[in-house]
Structure 1
Amino acid sequence: MSNLLARSWITLIVWLKLCLMIYLIPTNESRGNVPTPMDNNFPNDEQHLIDFGDFSYIMEQSPCGADTKGLIIVHSASSNQEKRSVIRETWGGVNAIDGSPLRLMFALGNISNSSLETSIVEEQAQYGDLLQGNFMDTYSNITYKHVMALKWFNYHCTNAQFLLKVDDDIFVNTRVLLQNLNEPKLTNKNLDNLLQQRRELLLCTKVVADRVIRSYRSKWRVSFREYSASRYPDFCPGFTVLYSPDVAKKLYAEAQRSPYFRLDDVHITGILSKRLHIPISDLRPYVLYPVEMESLLNEAEMANEQVEFLVSWHNLSPTQIRSLWSLFGNN
C-alpha cells in the first residue's frame, strides 16, 4: 500500500511539472525564417533585425530628401489595401504635395498568398509607398515591423525632425503637422512646443502600470517565461507614437541587442525605454476621442473653429476618416 501511495505521489508531481512546463511555453505564432538565437556581433547591421539574421527589404524606398522634416510610417497588414487607399485619399496624401516637408510610407511584412502578393506588387507599382520586410506578416511578428521602421528611419531619413509611427485605422491631422513644420505659429503653444522639441521626445497616450494578461483566450496573452512580472512598465499604445531622432536611435540600438518580445509597444516604448531612462511625454490632450469625434461630426459647421488635435483614437471606419478629412483636411 505504501509503495502504491508513493507511486501515486510521484505520478502527481510529474503531472504537475508537465502542466507547469506547458503553461510556461510561449504562445508565439511561427515567426517565419528565424535563425539561431541572437548574437550581438552581427557583422552587418543592415541584415540584422533583432534575432532575424538574414533580414532584407523586399520592397525598398529611396532615402528621404534634405527637405523631409517629418516621416510618417503606417503599420499596415498586407491585406489592408482598403485602409491604405483611404489614407492616401485623405490625411496621408502628403506624398502628392509638391515640396511637402512630410513623407509617408506603409510598413508591411512578407506574405505567402500568391494572389495577394501580386496585388501588393501592383499597389507598389501604382503608388510607390510600400516598405516591405522579408519576415512573415503576422501579429506575432509586429515587433519586427516596428524595429524595421526604426531601422529605416535611422539609416535613410537622417535629416527629419521626427518619426511618427501610426496604425492604419486612425486619422492624423496632417494640417497641424504641416503648419508646425512650415510656420510654427499654432494657437496651442503646448502642442507647438512638443512638436518643436528636438531631443528626448517619446510622445504618446501613455499606459500606466498595465496588468500582464495570462488568459489563453487573449491574443495579448504573455507567459511567465516571456515576462515574469505582473505589470508592465509605462508604455505607448501602438496606434500613435512620435519619436525624436535621438530616441529613435537609442531604442533601435537597444532593440537590436535585446531578445525578441512580440508585444511591440510594450517592448520598445515600455521595457526598452525604461531601461534607457527615456521619459514618455503625454499626448492625451491632443487626441480626438470617440465621443468628441461623434459630436464634431454631428455639428460639422463648428468643428474647425473649436478643435485642435494631432491624432484621433484608433479603430476608425473609412467613413469616419473621410468625414474628418472633410472637416480638417489641408485644402
Structure 2
Amino acid sequence: MPTMKDVLRQLFRLIGISSLVSILLWQTREGFTQPRSRETLDIFRRNQLMKQYEESVQFNAHELNWTTANMAKVLMFKGLEPETYKSSNLRNAVRYGVMEHGTKDSDLGSLMDNWVADVEVHDYAYLINPHQKCDVPPHLPKAILLVICVLSAPQNWERRDVIRSTYGNESVWPASREGASMVRVVFMLGAVKDVALQASIESEAARFGDIVQENFVDSYLNLTRKTVMTLKWVTKFCGNAIFMMKADDDIILNVQKVTTFLLLSPPEDFTAGKKGKPIRVMRTKNSKYYTPYHVYNSTHYHPYYLGGAGYFFSLDVAYRILDMAQRIPLFPWEDIFVSNCMRELGIPITRTKNFAWGKYTVSNGRLINDTQCIRFRDRYLVAKGLPANHMMKLWTFTQAMT
C-alpha cells in the first residue's frame, strides 16, 4: 500500500507535467521561439507588453478618470486670451527687455538683476496651434501612450529636422493593432520679433503640423513660461494621452527602452526623470546661470528637482502641476520652478535608474564613438546635451544595431 509520501510525490509530478504542457501550448499559440539574443528577447518582451496593454489596460478600456474638479481646471484655461501679439501682454519679457535667444550671458546678468517674481495666470494667445494633433479617428482606440513636447528655440530648425528624422518620426514608435502610432511629437516655441524668421516658422508649421507657438517672447529667461505653456497645451488638447514628456531639443530618446519603460509604468501619479543634486547658486554676474540674492537667497538649490533635459509625467500629474504653476511666483530656471510646484503638491521625486546619459567625450570635433553608442542603447532612456550631428550619429547607430 503506497505511503502518504508516495502519494504526494505522484501528485507533485502530475502538477509539474500539467504545468509544462500548459506552457508548451501557450508558447505554440503565441508562436514563441526561444530568443537567441538580447535584442530578440527585448522585442518579444515589448510585444507581449503591447498586447497586455491593449487588451487589459488602456487602448480599448482605459478612460481618463478625471474628477469634476479636473474638468473645471480644463474649462478654466479656455478663458479670455489676448487676440494679438501685444507687448503689454509680455510681462517680464518686455518690461525688463528680455532679448530673444542669442542674448549674451553678460546681458542676461543685467536682466536677472531686474527679475520680479510674479504669480502669473498663463493667458497668452496661440500664434500657431495644431490643436487637432492628438485627435483620433472614431474607429481607432481613444487613448495614446505619450505626447513628447520639445522646447525648441525658434532658429533651431536644424535640431527640429534631426528630431523629425529620428524619434520625432511618429512611425518609429509602436502602433496599436489598428496601426495608429502610440506617440505624438510637437515643438514648443515663443514669439519672435524678426518678421522673416516668423514667416519661416509659419512655413515650417504648415509643412509639418507640429509647431505650437504662443505670443510671449522666446528667450532664455522665458523657458519657465514655455514649460507652463507645454503643460497647458497638453492638458487642454491631448487629454486622451496617458503620459507626457517635456524634452529639450538637444536630446535623443532610446525608443525601445522608453516604450517598455512606460508600458510597465502606472498610468496615474507617475513621474520619471533624472533626480537633481545639491547645486550651488551661481552669483557670478557673467554666468549663464547667474541668480541674484533677491531671486533666491540660499547658497544651494534644493535637491528636490528633476533635471530639465527631459522628464515624464502622467497626465493627472501634469494637471496638478499646471494648476500650482499659476499659484506660486515664477522662477527663471524651469527645472527648479517645476520641482517647486511638485514639492508644494507633495509629489515625490524618485530617482529613475539609468534615465539620462550625458557623459560622452568629444574632442577635436569627432563624433561619439561606437562604444558610447552601445552604452546608450543598452542602458539609457535619454541621451542629453548633444550637437545635431551627434544626435543623428547616435540614432543611426543604435537603430541599425536594433
Give the TM-score range, shorter chain: 0.7 to 0.9
User: Where do 1:73-112 residues align within 5 Å?
Assistant: 73-94=149-170, 99-112=180-193
Give the structure 2 partner of residue 3 of structure 1.
none
Check 1:162–1:26 CA distance in 2 against 1; reply closer, same or farther (3 A cut). Answer: farther
Give the structure 2 partner of residue 278 of structure 1.
347
Task: Give the TM-score normalised by the residue count of structure 1.
Answer: 0.75
Task: Give the TM-score normalised by the residue count of structure 2.
Answer: 0.62
Cα distance between partner residues in 1 of 2:361 and 2:260? 23
User: Where do 1:38-57 residues align within 5 Å?
Assistant: 38=119, 48-49=121-122, 53=123, 55-57=124-126
- For residue 117 of structure 1, what is the amino acid of its counterpart? Q
User: Where do 1:133-172 residues align within 5 Å?
Assistant: 133-172=214-253
Q: Decide whether the 8 Å contact of 2:224 with 2:332 is kept in 1.
A: yes
Cα distance between partner residues in 1 of 2:246 and 2:388? 19
SS, match of residue 239 in structure 1:
strand
Structure 2 gaps, min length 5? 1-108, 136-141, 174-178
1:88-112 per-residue CA deviation (whole Å, 9 max, x = no partner) reads 0112111687611100000000000
Cα distance between partner residues in 2 of 1:29 and 1:122? 37
Give the structure 1 partner of residue 112 of structure 2.
28
Check 1:177–1:77 CA distance in 2 against 1; reply closer, same or farther (3 A cut). Answer: same
User: Where do 1:1-331 residues align within 5 Å?
Assistant: 27-28=111-112, 38=119, 48-49=121-122, 53=123, 55-63=124-132, 64-65=134-135, 66-94=142-170, 99-179=180-260, 184=263, 192=264, 196-233=265-302, 234-269=304-339, 271-291=340-360, 297-299=369-371, 303=374, 307-312=378-383, 314-329=384-399
Cα distance between partner residues in 1 of 2:271 and 2:322? 13
Q: Decide whether the 8 Å contact of 2:242 with 2:267 is kept in 1.
A: yes
SS, match of residue 202 in structure 2:
helix
Q: Decide whether the 8 Å contact of 1:26 with 1:226 is kept in 2.
A: no
Q: Decide whether the 8 Å contact of 2:274 with 2:355 is kept in 1.
A: no
Check 1:125–1:179 CA distance in 2 against 1; reply closer, same or farther (3 A cut). Answer: same
Structure 1 residue 226: deviation in Å? 1.2
Structure 1 residue 220: deviation in Å? 1.3
Q: Decide whether the 8 Å contact of 1:91 with 1:174 is kept in 2.
A: yes
Q: Decide whether the 8 Å contact of 1:91 with 1:329 is kept in 2.
A: no
Structure 1 gaps, min length 5? 1-24, 40-47, 185-191
Cα distance between partner residues in 1 of 2:114 and 2:399? 41
Question: Rg larger in 1 or in 2?
Answer: 2
Higher RCO structure, 1 or 2 (CA under 8 Å, sep 6+): 1
1:247-286 per-residue CA deviation (whole Å, 9 max, x = no partner) reads 21111101111122111111112x2211221111223423
Query: RMSD across aligned C-alpha pairs, in angstroms?
Result: 3.1
Give me the identity figure in percent: 29
